Amino acid sequence: MTVVSTRPFEGQRPGTSGLRKKVAVFKQPGYLENFVQSVFDSLEGYQGQTLVVGGDGRYWNDQAIQVILRMAAANGFGRILVGQDGILSTPAASCVIRKYKAFGGLILSASHNPGGPDGDFGIKYNIGNGGPAPEKVTEDIYARSQTITEYRSLEAADVDLARLGKTQLGGAEVEVIDSVSDYADLMGHLFDFDRIKAMFASGAFRMRFDAMHAVTGPYARTILEDILGAPPGTAMNAVPLPDFGGGHPDPNPVYADQLMAEMFGAKAPDFGAASDGDGDRNMIVGKRFVVTPSDSLAVLAANAHLVPGYAKGIRGVARSMPTSRAADRVAEAMGIECFETPTGWKFFGNLLDAGRVTLCGEESYGTSSDHVREKDGLWAVLFWLNLLAKRGESVEAILRDHWRRFGRNYYSRHDYDGLDTAVANDLMNALRAALPGLPGSRVGELTVESADDFSYTDPIDGSVSSKQGLRIGFAGGSRVVFRLSGTGTEGATLRVYLERFEPDPSRHDIEPQEALADIIQAAEALAGIKTRTGREKADVVT
Ligand code: G1P
Ligand code: ZN
């Protein structure tokens, strides 16, 4: 064992989802080591216990894993489960932590951020329930990282990550496990695989899944093609690459443009889906028809009883604050609880653990349930496949029926990327300062009904998270939310979330940007985005 002296690095505070920095930052000697040691130092009682380690396969994944294995062994973990070739999708890591009752896990991912030597890298700690560490843990880790003086490691050869099986590393046993099988088993218990298989076997149903050269390639091939019998090639871009083929592995209509072209083309398949860098996000598309993530959550909630794993009914739903309120309407109709949490999956953990909710979702292409404690891309795809097989209707028909029953929540998010941090902070501070005076005032044709800076009190442990986004509600149920991203690695990203409720089915066919035009204008009038940032329009509209 070696004890190495070190000095703190600035800025090791985990963001919305772990610590994310440029690869070059992570590669500084001691940078990763400091953070990992800070994680271990802020935990208690892990001696002899199990740690799960895996990542999304991005550039530097394999080297970082070797560092972590040596450090985990030197710090006294008894057993370390690591995905083959260092690969575990984020939901698969959550599944493995839960299944083997591990103490926790380290997941290496920067999600949908680009990879490669000039791209991003990331690491996050998940606790024993399989979910992201809550804020009190991440704050402890950060505090520790600011005073750290040494880290522990081992002098040992690299573990062969390609070969399944056990190796001794110092006092720990390292086991390389199949990255897919535990996760595939869990999916088989939740969904009616026979029914989905029959749908593919009929030949009348075609789908495309875009793995975006990221981690879900092998998962999609095994589950969709090998187990469910979808034709080979159903999963496209299915070979994971360390730089994701130079792309931006974020499943939205902008970045998954290859899939979108197909879904809107002449011979469009019936169903399309995509997932992100680490496999926790999902995008659902019908034939020439886009499903917003907020709507997807609402549809899954309304139809959960049709799926074996949820046939007994769902207990409640939770959505992040900026997510549209489509799911709230379903929860109300079903007479179940609905929770509004801050952005980030870590806020769902307590509600799931306490059995208060079964389904959760975020507008940022994240959906999942209590089967793991992360969002889960392929799970959502399989849920949709199960619904399509059971209802025998198209994606579009299911959505139109849903809107007829519950009304339609038109929704869009406008992102302004790479802003000067000071400019972005000024914009938010000015708007925050104006909030108290807004209720009752008119912005264009709209009347402000409410305005606040979202603060959340966790109903289970009472912890308070403040400054979680500025929300402005208008008479009639429309709303705009402003937030700064907590996952970026360069400058600031301003997210503007727009929503309008439309109960009238004869008005469910409007193009969303058009349906939201007055709210988009109001957002500009309230925040002065153009004048403050100099940007004429958003970089990414989803
Ligand atoms: C973004 C999304 C958020 C999601 C997170 C991790 O965070 O908005 O919903 O949980 O990525 O995937 P943000 O960059 O907005 O802080
Ligand atoms: Zn992700």
What is the 512 CA–ligand 2 centroid distance (Å)?
Answer: 25
Token pair recorded at residue 191: 């969904």
Give the Cβ contact number of residue 208 at 10 Å.
21
> What is the rounded (10 degree) CA torsion for 395, 400, 402, 403?
140
What is the 364 CA–ligand 1 centroid distance (Å)?
Answer: 6
Domain co-membership, 77 together with 197: no
Give the Cα separation of 177 and 163 in Å (integer). 9
Residue whose CB lies within 8 A of the most ligand 1 atoms, among 13, 16, 123, for a mutation test: 16
Give the Cα separation of 396 and 230 in Å (integer). 21
Domain co-membership, 401 together with 414: no
Query: Which pTM does this prediction carry?
Result: 0.95
Q: Which atom of ligand 1 is nearest to the CA of 362?
A: 9
Residue 298's Cβ-count burial label (10 Å; 0-12, 13-18, 19+) is buried
β-strand partners of 4: 151
CA 241 to mean position of chain CA atoms: 20
Nearest Cα neighbor of 459 from 311, 352, 301 is 352
DSSP for 188-238 reads HHHS-HHHHHHHHHTSS--EEEE-TTSTHHHHHIIIIIIIT-PPTTSEES-
Which ligand sits nearest to residue 89's alpha carbon? 2
pLDDT in tens, 13-65: 998 789 999 999 999 999 999 999 999 999 999 999 999 999 999 999 999 99
**57: amino acid identity, one letter:** G
What is the 317 CA–ligand 1 centroid distance (Å)?
Answer: 19
Which stretches within 233-362 are classed as H helix?
257-263, 293-303, 326-334, 349-353
Which ligand sits nearest to residue 107's alpha carbon? 2
Strand duo 271-275 + 207-210: pairing: parallel
Residue whose CB lies within 8 A of the most ligand 1 atoms, among 215, 347, 362, for a mutation test: 362
| 141-145 contacts, C-beta under 8 A, 24 or more apart | 141/12, 141/14, 141/35, 141/38, 141/39, 141/42, 142/12, 142/13, 142/14, 142/38, 143/42, 144/38, 144/41, 144/42, 145/8, 145/9, 145/12, 145/13, 145/34, 145/35, 145/38
Which ligand sits nearest to residue 365's alpha carbon? 1
Question: Among 156, 178, 200, where does a domain finish?
Answer: 178
Domain co-membership, 394 together with 483: no
What is the 537 CA–ligand 1 centroid distance (Å)?
Answer: 21
Domain of 267 in residue numbering reads as: 183-406
Domain co-membership, 68 together with 170: yes
Question: Among 160, 178, 196, where does a domain finish?
Answer: 178
What is the 170 CA–ligand 2 centroid distance (Å)?
Answer: 33
Domain co-membership, 120 together with 169: yes
Q: What is the torsional sign of CA 172, 176, 180, 181?
A: negative
Residue of the nearest CA to atom 10 in ligand 1?
A: 344
> How many domains does the chain divide into?
3
Domain co-membership, 338 together with 424: no
Residues marked as catalytic: 111
Residue 479 belongs to domain with CATH number: 3.30.310.50
Question: Among 157, 178, 199, where does a domain finish?
Answer: 178
pLDDT by 10s per residue, the chain, length 542: 999 999 999 999 998 789 999 999 999 999 999 999 999 999 999 999 999 999 999 999 999 999 999 999 999 999 999 999 999 999 999 999 999 999 999 999 999 999 999 999 999 999 999 999 988 899 999 999 999 999 999 999 999 999 999 999 999 999 999 999 999 999 999 999 999 999 999 999 999 999 999 999 999 999 999 999 999 999 999 999 999 999 899 999 999 999 999 999 999 999 999 999 999 999 999 999 999 999 999 999 999 999 999 999 999 999 999 999 999 999 999 999 999 999 999 899 999 999 999 999 999 999 999 999 999 999 999 999 999 999 999 999 999 999 999 999 999 999 999 999 999 999 999 999 999 999 999 999 999 999 999 999 999 999 999 999 999 999 998 999 999 998 877 899 999 999 999 999 999 999 999 999 999 999 999 999 999 999 999 999 99
**429: amino acid identity, one letter:** N
Residue 290 belongs to domain with CATH number: 3.40.120.10
Q: To 5 degrees, how large is the angle CA 495–CA 501–CA 504?
A: 150
Q: Terminus-to-terminus CA distance in the chain, angstroms?
A: 50
Domain co-membership, 31 together with 78: yes
Domain co-membership, 199 together with 284: yes
Domain co-membership, 6 together with 81: yes
Looking up tokens 């029953």, which residue turns up?
405
Domain co-membership, 373 together with 492: no
**294: amino acid identity, one letter:** S
Segment (H or E) for 388: helix 377-391
Domain co-membership, 247 together with 385: yes
Q: Which atom of ligand 1 is nearest to the CA of 345?
A: 10
Task: Quickly count helices (H) and strands (E) in the chain.
Answer: 18, 27
The answer to whether 271 and 384 are in contact (CB under 8 A) is yes
Domain co-membership, 120 together with 201: no
Residues with CB under 6 A from ligand 1: 16-17, 111, 320, 343-345, 362, 364, 366, 485-487, 495
